[in-house]
Amino acid sequence: MLYPGFMSAAPSPVPAPQEPVEPQELLQLGPDADEPCLRADAARNRARLLEAAARLVAERGADCVTMEAVAAAARVGKGTVFRRFGDRTGLLTALLDHSEKKFQAAFLTGPPPLGPGAPPVERLRAFGLAMLRRTADELELQLAAEPEPARRFTAPPRRVLRHHVTLLLREAVPDADCEILAHILLAQLDPALIHHLTRQCGMPPERLESAWVDLVDRVTGAASSR
């Protein structure tokens, strides 16, 4: 079963930490989950709208991406954009969908140390470094697509990332409360925090990367073995 879209009202639950997770269950995240079922013209319209939205982000920044602006750039009616994406958050999360699926494929099936084959602590280090670099590249878009507070921790992509970190922690520190630790680790990768530290406090990305490695090593006990 493929993972439901961002806009689904009742997303299927992520398997419990002790259950195996198949990569194909996690990779389909965005509004294009039903793409094969779309008429050819609907699929073309969707691609056209996303191209227009991506162009606006590149030219003006994510704050300038409105449903009206995308409709004008794509030369369609505003109602078409609302029907396809629901609201501005749905549109922005659709833009992030491709990058989200690529990132998931990398940590689920890609080469080590981010993918399978490396020790869990090495994979945790690589996971956070990859997340920090990806967020730096997409910071405005990620902030603009941030789910509302009630959905912040239940949105499908967040749950997938948290589940992955929990599984790695269970391998590295099986006696710990790994679900809580996963929340703590992921808090350091929050786009709003990264924005604050890099844009408002002027911290270099390298400092955040070093802090991530240090946190992982302290949490897993790897620091004491160095």
Domains (range + CATH), the chain: 28-221 (1.10.357.10)
Q: Is the pLDDT reported for residue 159 higher than 90? A: yes
Residue of 110, 115, 47, 52 whose CA lies nearest to 84: 47
Question: Angle between the 67-74 and 88-109 helix axes, to the nearest 10 degrees?
Answer: 80
pLDDT in tens, 114-136: 999 999 999 999 999 999 999 99
Q: Is residue 181 a contact partner of residue 169, using CB atoms and an 8 Å limit?
A: yes
pLDDT surpassing 70 at residue 138: yes
Predicted confidence at residue 178, as pLDDT, reads: 98
Only one residue has tokens 């269970």, namely: 170
CA–CA separation, 154 and 150 (whole Å) = 8
Tens-digit pLDDT profile for residues 177-190: 999 999 999 999 99
Predicted confidence band of residue 110 (pLDDT cuts 50, 70, 90):
very high
Helix and strand element counts for the chain (H, E) = 10, 0
Q: What is the pTM of this model?
A: 0.71
Q: 181-217 burial, b if ≥16 CB within 10 A, otherwise e? A: bbeebbebbbbeebbebbeeeeeeeeebbeebbebbb
Q: What is the arithmetic mean of pLDDT over 74-85?
A: 90
Distances (CA, A) of 218 to 6, 33, 208, 209: 34, 39, 15, 14
Contact (Cβ atoms closer than 8 angstroms) between residue 72 and residue 118: no
Give me the half-sphere count of Cα atoms (radius 13 Å) on the Cβ side of residue 98.
8
Mean pLDDT lowest among 37-41, 134-138, 170-174 = 37-41
Residues 6+ apart with CB under 8 A from 70: 49, 52, 53, 56, 81, 91
Q: Reply yes or no: is the peptide bond before residue 113 cis, omega within 30 of 0.
A: yes
